[in-house]
Chain A
Amino acid sequence: MPSIRFRLNGVDTEIDADPDTSLLTILRGKLGMTGSHFGCGAGECGACNVIVGDHAVTACDTPLWSVADKEVTTIEGLGDAQKPHPLQRAFIAEQALQCGYCVSGILMSAAALLKQNPDPTAADVKTALDRNLCRCGSHNRMVRAILRAAAEMRAP
């Protein structure tokens, strides 16, 4: 098995696996990082979104070889209860979910958006999340939470 190196949440990582294996399989399987969720396996729902470089991608149809030498950030690298990312704080403040299964993917899409556009409009947020599905209907709360986090991150 070839070995593939990348940086995962700031840590050098080396994986021996078939290079065509999906990134999600590696994350949830070998690495035991289950924050990125399986939803469809076809890149259609965004529940497995992670950030590669500066862009949110669906990990379920991202082959391992394509992240070689890249920076990969997952929900586990976004923040934790001790050091929450402003997005995570804002999602709690706005109570921006119901079941929450789609949320880790949505947080990663939002984090990628804020990297590229620190001052988005509501329409920008909706465009950035348009490939993420939410079935509970928490969309408006999520948009509010993301705008709230953006404002907090811009504040001096």
Chain B
Amino acid sequence: MTAQAPSPAAPKLPPSLAANPKLSSWIRFTPDGHVAVSPGKVEIGQGIVTALAQIAADELDVDIARVQMVRASTAGSPNEGVTSGSLSVQQSGRAMRQACAEIRQIFLSVAAERLGVESGVLDIADGTISGPGNVSTSYWELAGEVSLDRDATPGALAKSSSQRKLAGNSVQRLDIPDKVFAHARFIHDTALPGLLHGRVLRSELSHAALLELKDDGARKVDGLVAIVRDGNFAGVVSETEAGAELALAALRKSAKWSPRETLPDEDGLAEWLKRQPAELAVIASKKASSPPAKTRTIRRQYTRPYIAHGSIAPSCAMAQWSEDRVRVWTHSQGVYLLRADLALVLKIPLEHITVEHMEGAGCYGHNAADDVALDAVLLAKVASGRPVRVQWSRADEMSHAPFGAAMTIEIEADLDAKGEIADWRHSIWGNGHTARPGRAELPALLAATELAKPFPRAIATNPPQANGGGADRNSVPLYDFPSWQIESHRLTTMPIRTSALRTLGAQGNVFAIESFLDELAAERGEDPLQFRLRHLSDQRAQDVIRAVARRAGWKPAKRDGIGYGLGFARYKNTGAYCAVIAEVEGAEDISVKRLTIAVDVGEAINPDGVINQIEGGAIQATSWVLKERVRFDAARITSNSWTEYPILRFSEVPEVHVEVISRPEIEPVGAGEAAHGPVTAAITNAVFDALGVRLRNLPITRERLIAAMELSS
């Protein structure tokens, strides 16, 4: 029998480029000597635009100052779905690098022909292509004869990490000067000619029916253009923003609502989640070949509440109709996905809708950005072709936008005679973690459920495991336990609206796993860091834990009222590795003094950008852990202001030290969501170290701490 040598795998295009193969949709050389770079991912304050500019400039050999980043639009940008899941560098970055590598090659071969030399002797510096004997041309000179309206082909070789000049360096973010000089870059600050202002009337009651509305008060307000009513959807359009607010206030006075939804009992939420109708999914099941004998079983339950996105800017959008076509400006994370939902609601063809991205404030997931776009589109119908800008109120933003789902997580471990883990069982209860637009047969936009002919409310689902999962994200341990069973119960009712919030279920699951491990280590009287290392065979995991231990001097000597805790995860089990050591201080009030973090994102395109994302994620997670919890009564969300929904303030922010483990040879992954889970667990584990009490329910407020201490004494 002759064995055939396996043929080397044919090179493949990165998925995002395969889906959007036309090279000109990514890169254009403009007549004024610039390079227009057009990704499908959008800036949400994470610095992606700069990282992609670095990648393009590097691969094309042009100065980054020549790069002009084009905002995503359905009019021509590559369709890269949604900007989420810490995937932008992975998806858009790889596609951009590959497209630029091929474009570089195409220009080199055309230049070689034109200059009469071999392409191998040519060099490119800041877009000028030159060779021996002072022959030269440039991208821009050749742009007229090289059409990039062609599909990418696999095989072009991108530069090796050592040949790149910009990637791996902390290039300053391109958008920051505009933001410190307050140039109108945010959608909120953009004035279109003839712009009108709209406001939508929403009850503070959840999912309320509008029984009665009188418009005489609103009609008296100067500058009123129109009052719109369609079922439970009502709004005003005015010449001025102040006029729109006054008209809305008048309308609100006259409105009578009736509640149509009973919200759960906030204090019994964890158990309520377990009682609801749900769909069960087995996430992972591993059987031991020779199961060790168990001598006892330990079970613990961990919970997290609903968490608000809490963008500092209320959601905003603009829309303008021209006959049967509409143009929309939005800070949505997915222009094509929003367009798909708008087409469902409006019942018009996709190509009659253009959706353009403009920057908003950080959103941290699926907030009201998409909802307000439909609001603007609906109000703009009565504006006789003028553009209408709609902005939500703070209260609506905090009560009608989707929340990150509350979770109840139970972990059970069988221990053998030596106290080693013999079997591990992890069960999750909660609503799905995504109800983003553009992915279902029904629209996911709020106003669609309010119209006289309403669409049903979308029940949040969980993304497939191949995409990192939702409620189950990070629920499969990275540790080498002999056997496990991981299950997720997704609720099929949804009185409180949920959708994607940064990390989806990962923060809850990592909190539970890392807390439980800490409990087991404490039971054994073993150092929690050694306990983890003993169960981790992944070298990169070991490396971040050892790095953070070194940096924080693990474990510092015991001091009164001070505690240290560890947390670790690899985001989605496929993304960035992150280990955290928290130092906390306190008795009844916990303050987080310091977070020491080690992270491995593979190739760090912009190391300071990575540090910025990790610091930001760590501070946001600290806020979630210490303070955040959506509050509600039977009829309404009550935490609809910053007073009712406090977040971390400057005086409460910990020091954050970040060490980036550089691996330029490994494909880059995102950093924006790596820190939340490990930080959460590190803080609660540090509280145990300081005070000897386990806090298994987030947030760890003063009341909960006192209750836990009373229980343990």
Interface residues in chain A, defined as those with a beta carbon under 8 Å from any beta carbon in chain B: 21, 25, 28-29, 32, 34-42, 44-45, 47, 75-76, 79-81, 84, 88, 91-92, 95, 97-104, 107, 123, 125-127, 129-141, 143
Contact = CB atoms under 8 A, between A and B. Distances in A.
B391 A95 contact: no
B313 A37 contact: yes
Contacts of B189: 34-35, 37
A101 B180 contact: no
Which range contains the number of B residues in contact with the other chain? Answer: 35 or more
A47 B360 CA distance: 14
Contact of B651 (A97, A127, A133, A136): A127
B128 to A, nearest CB: 28
Contacts of B170: 95
B153 interface: no
Contacts of A28: 241
Contacts of A47: 312-313
Contacts of B188: 34, 37-38, 101
B191 interface: yes
A39 B559 CA distance: 42
A38 B360 CA distance: 12
Given A21-B242, A25-B241, A99 B642 contact: no
Interface in B608-660: 608, 612-613, 615-620, 623, 641-643, 647-651, 653, 655-656
A95 B312 contact: no
B593 to A, nearest CB: 13
B45 interface: yes
B182 interface: yes
Interface in B351-390: 359-362, 364
B313 A92 contact: no
B172 A92 contact: yes
Contacts of B642: 40, 42, 44-45, 133
A138 B180 contact: no
Contacts, number: 162
Given A39-B314, A44-B643, A92-B177, A139 B394 contact: no
Contact of A132 (B177, B180, B616, B650): B650
B240 interface: yes
9 contacts: A37-B188, A42-B394, A91-B180, A92-B172, A95-B608, A99-B362, A133-B312, A135-B361, A141-B612
A138 B616 contact: yes
Contacts of B312: 37, 39, 45, 47, 99, 101-102, 133-135
Contact of A98 (B362, B648, B651): B362
A95 B314 CA distance: 24
Contacts of B176: 91-92, 95, 97, 100
A69 to B, nearest CB: 23
Interface string B229-251: 00000000000111000000000
A56 B241 CA distance: 24
Interface string B139-183: 000000000000000000000000000000010110111011110
Given A32-B191, A37-B186, A135-B647, 4 more contacts: A38-B313, A44-B394, A99-B312, A129-B650
Contacts of B173: 95
Nearest to B197: A29
Contacts of B680: none
Most buried by B among A76, A98, A102: A98
B180 A92 contact: yes
A47 to B, nearest CB: 6
Nearest to A143: B650
B682 to A, nearest CB: 16
Given A126-B653, A136-B620, A100 B180 contact: yes
A139 to B, nearest CB: 4
Nearest to A104: B182
Nearest to A109: B650
Contacts of B653: 126, 137, 139-140
B309 to A, nearest CB: 8
- Minimum-distance CB pairs A-B, first 5: A99-B45, A35-B182, A137-B619, A100-B179, A137-B616
A146 B641 CA distance: 28
A126 B311 contact: no
Contacts of A41: 393-394
Contact of A84 (B181, B359, B616): B181
B98 interface: no
A75 B643 contact: no
B45 A136 contact: yes
A126 B612 contact: no
B650 A135 contact: no
Contacts of A95: 170, 172-173, 176, 608, 612
Contacts of A40: 314, 394, 641-642
Given A103-B180, A134-B312, A126 B651 contact: yes
A140 to B, nearest CB: 6
